[in-house]
Every structure is written in structure tokens, then in C-alpha cells.
Amino acid sequence: QKEVEQNSGPLSVPEGAIASLNCTYSDRVSQSFFWYRQYSGKSPELIMSIYSNGDKEDGRFTAQLNKASQYVSLLIRDSQPSDSATYLCAVIPDTGRRALTFGSGTRLQVQP
Amino acid sequence: DGGITQSPKYLFRKEGQNVTLSCEQNLNHDAMYWYRQDPGQGLRLIYYSQIVNDFQKGDIAEGYSVSREKKESFPLTVTSAQKNPTAFYLCASSVDPSSYEQYFGPGTRLTVT
């Protein structure tokens, strides 16, 4: 099993809807998680990090961590066409390596 | 302005040539990283450095080399031994090795023909 897995999508939602992006992880990671947004042809941009079980909100974004089920989600409320991008989930491998391991990303399309 | 710069944005090379990608940061960050991204895929770690004059291999270090002689600079050399060097190369930095919040430069798109 990979350390982190994401559905490649695309996930298509209408403008104004809630977009829900999910990431599952293995036992071989530490309990810190990061969400990055990557527009086509650009570099990733950190949008949220979450370290404890439960929800963390920042503007229209909410990160949810469920340790029992080993998944972390990113919810985007009131989705806008400008939210159309690939969302990468990143984890810290439990190997002592001090660098993130990234999922392959989920492409989100927000339809006007 | 503080940030991470990578140059050039696009780079073209002939097969068999070594090429060096530049990464500079003025954020005073201790840790720096190099990732490679292929179309439709996530990022794969090439090398990382937690401190000056020290660096560690990532998952796909074969065919690449790095140096960290200065805190602000972490150049990556793609050697002729790298079988499929065409990719998008991303440099990142974080405040220190215990802070995993990594910030990325704009990337260099390398094409080898």
C-alpha cells in the first residue's frame, strides 16, 4: 500500500457547491497532513495543514482528519471556477525522512 | 520580496549533456528540497538538504547530483545517466527540518531531446 493515495478525478462540481476531496493514508505515516493546490503549469501552493483529529477551517476551506478511518479530506465551500486545479495531499513518512511524500493529486473542475 | 527563485523557467538540452538547474531562496530557510513531476503525476523527491554542506537522497536520486555550499542555494545537476530527464522540476524550502510546511519555487520545465 502506498503511503498516501488520492483519486485522480476529475471531480466536477457546479459553481457554488461544496467540493469534497479525499486522501487515504497508510500506517507508515506520521499524523500531520498538508493540502496543496496546483494550477495547471504552475508550482504547488500550500493551502492548509492539519495535525490533530477533527476539523480545521480557514475561510472557504475545511480540512478534516479521521485517524480511525485513516483519511483526510479537504472541503471547499461555495466553489468558484478559480478553484479549478489539482489538489495534492502530502504526508510525513514514518521513516525518519524529513521531507513530504505527495499523493498524485485530484483534479477539480468547477463548472460555471 | 522574499521567495524562492528557479531559473530558467524552460530549459532545452540534447541527450547526453549534463544540465544544472538553479534554486535560490532569500527566506533564510534551513531546509531545501528538489522534486520531479511528470505529467498527471504527483511529486517525487530527488534530494533534500537540512543544513549547509549536508544532503540526503530521496526516492529517485539516481542520475542526479546536488550541492549545498550556501544556505540560500541548492542547485540540481541532471546528469547524462538520468534515463528520462524530461520533466517539471520543483525546488522547495522550509524554515527548518522539523517544519514540514514546504514552499515551492515556480519550477523549471526541462526538455531533453
**Confidence class for position A96, pLDDT limits 50, 70, 90:** confident
Predicted confidence (pLDDT) at residue B1 exceeds the cutoff of 70: no
What's the rounded mean pLDDT across residues B9-28? 95
pLDDT digits (tens, 9 = 90+) for B36-80: 999 888 899 999 999 999 999 999 999 999 999 999 999 999 999
Residue B113: count other Cβ atoms within 10 Å of its Cβ.
7
| Nearest neighbour of B42 by CB, restricted to A42, A97, A105 | A105
Cα dihedral B59/B18/B6/A46 (nearest 10):
-10
Q: Which residue is closest to B96 within chain A, CA to CA?
A: A98
Report the DSSP pairing between strands A106-111 and A11-14.
parallel
pLDDT at A15: 98
Contact A23, A72 (CB under 8 A): yes
**B84 close to A (CB below 8 A):** no
